[in-house]
Amino acid sequence: MSQADRKPASLDPDATLDPKDWGELRAQGHRMLDDMFDNLASVAERPLWQAPTPDQRARYRAELPRGPGRLEDVHAQFMADVAPYGSGNRHPGFMGWVQGGGTGVGMLAEMLAGGLDANLGGRDHMPIEVERQVALWMAELFGFGPEASGLFLTGTSLANLCAVLVARDRALGADVRHTGVRDVRVVAYASKGVHSCIVRAMDMTGLGWDRLRLVETDADHAISLPALEAAIAADRAQGLKPFLIVGTAGSVDVGAIDDLSGLADIAEREGAAFHVDGALGALGVLAPAIAPRLAGIERADSLALDFHKLAQAPYDAGFLLVRDAAAHKRTFTYSEAAYLRHAERGLAGGEWWPCDFGPDLSRGFRALKVWFALKTYGLDALGDVIGRVCKLAADLARRVEASEELELLAPVGLNIVCFGYRGADNAAIAADLQEAGRVAPSTTTLNGRTAIRAAIVNHRTGPADIEALVEGVLASGRAQASRG
Ligand SMILES: *Cc1c(COP(=O)(O)O)cnc(C)c1O
């Protein structure tokens, strides 16, 4: 039926999208919730990953659905064709990339947030206070003080981009928002192991890749402070000015933690902003064995972190904390639009509008799932998860070093183990394991060699999964060796 054939839209004033019979929707809703609980409770019993068949993919190329369908049918299609073919990050054998495993509490909070349908761009309502509370907790946890600003973003990629913008405007003056970037005689520094999103932030902020120095790392893959000082001296000699030093608290490749105190000293001396990419490791402050190695994080001007990694929040939940809230606001606020005017009273009141602190106007209630998790599990339990995955990584490293056939390819500082089967094609081993669906490591390149990379993040991962990984790598490596 084409649009032209359609009868005129119903002008029935009762024709909303709400159901005629809430009881029916409620009963179906309970079935959907139960299905998802069953699905979550049995996640370890199913394959971690399986590729969808061409047939299944084809079923998702349907005509525009002009007319209605039955909710139970759509849900059945989801359960049959979508749920079993996810990327596997909830599974205890998932070690492929730095991804959390989600929680039941997170799932329920997402449902509540969806039901409330709050828009957290701004205005005067309680959901904003929930986000504000999480920001105050983070400011306290990281020693930023109550004056700091914080907000949720999709992930650390965006939080890092926002932090580079704040640092840019601090260095070039707020006028850069009018004129655009003209004076690019400013330079940023980060280690060679820095996440690619910092590199991308340089072009997205108009500064350009040429203004980022990727500094050599030392044996533990952390930034070399002497190499950083030398790079700064060389740039100064050229008349360039350091404006930003980025420290990494848990590098994505190997989990290396930069010397944050050392970086804070250098940033202070050079008058540069100090930003910490703590996507992976910042919440290590909750684990007594890791916290001392993060000393200096409390001196950062800004900090990016991800609740969807070690804190296990369902996707997505990135977060940015900025010490100087006024500078943060100067970078993003735009008061010219009448529809965004803040009022003295009424619904358009409220002191803290997140849209003044980031690129988004309409924003969902990401804060709710994190607020629920922090209040129900408690910070200590999250710290225990972090301590446990780091211990599993250390155990795996020992297991690798005790084997004649395996070799450790990077030191293990946090929760990531890079290793290989001697003389084998490690990429093929990783692919074999992923396809077998019991454990899923990924790969990375270290010193020109392909390593099997096990990033142990998921709170469900235990010793049996580590054993399955070791056994799987040995079996696949031996099979390769015997094929010659
Ligand atoms: C994951 C990660 C990022 C990117 O964060 P997203 O949440 O995926 O945008 C940046 N830096 C580090 C160190 C990471 O581990």
Residue with CA closest to ligand 1 atom 12: 279
Whether pLDDT at 5 is above 80 = no
pLDDT computed for residue 351 by the predictor: 87
In angstroms, rounded to a whole number, what is the distance separating the alpha carbons of residues 51 and 355? 40
In angstroms, rounded to a whole number, what is the distance separating the alpha carbons of residues 122 and 131? 11
Residue with CA closest to ligand 1 atom 2: 279
Pocket lining: 277 vs ligand 1, CB cutoff 6 Å: yes
Residue of 100, 150, 119 whose CA lies nearest to 377: 100
Residue with CA closest to ligand 1 atom 5: 156
CA dihedral 333, 335, 340, 345 (to 10 degrees): 100
Rounded distance from Cα 157 to ligand 1 centre (Å): 6
Pocket lining: 287 vs ligand 1, CB cutoff 6 Å: no
pLDDT computed for residue 338 by the predictor: 78
Whether pLDDT at 393 is above 50 = yes
% of the chain beyond a pLDDT of 90: 89
pLDDT for 237-288, tens place per residue?
999 999 999 999 999 999 999 999 999 999 999 999 999 999 999 999 999 9
Ligand 1 atom with least separation from CA of 249: 13
Rounded distance from Cα 340 to ligand 1 centre (Å): 31
Please spell the DSSP secondary structure of 362-405, one letter per residue: S---HHHHHHHHHHHT-HHHHHHHHHHHHHHHHHHHHHHHT-SS
Of residues 366 and 350, more confidently modeled: 366
Pocket lining: 258 vs ligand 1, CB cutoff 6 Å: no
pLDDT computed for residue 336 by the predictor: 77
Whether pLDDT at 6 is above 70 = no
Give burial (CB, 10 Å; 0-12/13-18/19+) of 100. Answer: buried
Ligand 1 atom with least separation from CA of 160: 10
Whether pLDDT at 9 is above 70 = no
Tell me the two tokens of residue 362: 């309409």
- Cβ proximity of 372 and 131 under 8 Å: no
Whether pLDDT at 219 is above 80 = yes
Residue with CA closest to ligand 1 atom 7: 155
Amino acid at 230: A
Pocket lining: 392 vs ligand 1, CB cutoff 6 Å: no
Rounded distance from Cα 279 to ligand 1 centre (Å): 5
pLDDT computed for residue 340 by the predictor: 80
- Who's near 433: CB < 8 A, 6+ residues apart? 439, 440, 441, 469, 472, 473, 476
